[in-house]
Amino acid sequence: MPDQWNRGNRTADDLSPLRSEQRQRVREELESRLTSDGILLNGTESDAQIIALSNALESFDTARQRVGGDSMVNTIESSRPDDPRLVLPSRRDDESVDQYIGRIREATRRLADD
């Protein structure tokens, strides 16, 4: 009798096409938010990296709000931000996702320390 709990190396997405579609929709939503906030994505980011970027962005936004920064004025595209510390760092062309997340987290810590 086959073991019903042992499904080999198949993932949950392999077992449910609906789950795979849901995962893809969530990823697309997160990517859309990231790019609308000016974050450069090159298409090589894993699902986990997209989630980590989204979490880092959310933490930065929260820290910016705590110090009274306006997210509409203090954007990457802004030519006249209220305070450059309140602008999300731009991702460099040669920067890995993990390096960029580290710089966002560092900027968040600096804001939290103020």
pLDDT, tens digit, 9 for 90 and up, residues 77-86: 666 777 888 8
Q: What is the mean pLDDT of the chain?
A: 84
pTM: 0.77
Other C-beta atoms within 10 Å of 89: how many? 14
| DSSP code at position 73 | T
Q: b/e for 42-76, b at 16 or more Cβ within 10 A?
A: eeebeeebbebbbebbebbeebbeeeebeeeebee
Mean pLDDT of 87-108: 94
Q: How confident is the model at residue 112 (pLDDT cuts 50, 70, 90)?
A: confident
pLDDT digits (tens, 9 = 90+) for 33-63: 999 988 999 999 999 999 999 999 999 999 9
Share of the chain above pLDDT 70, in %: 78
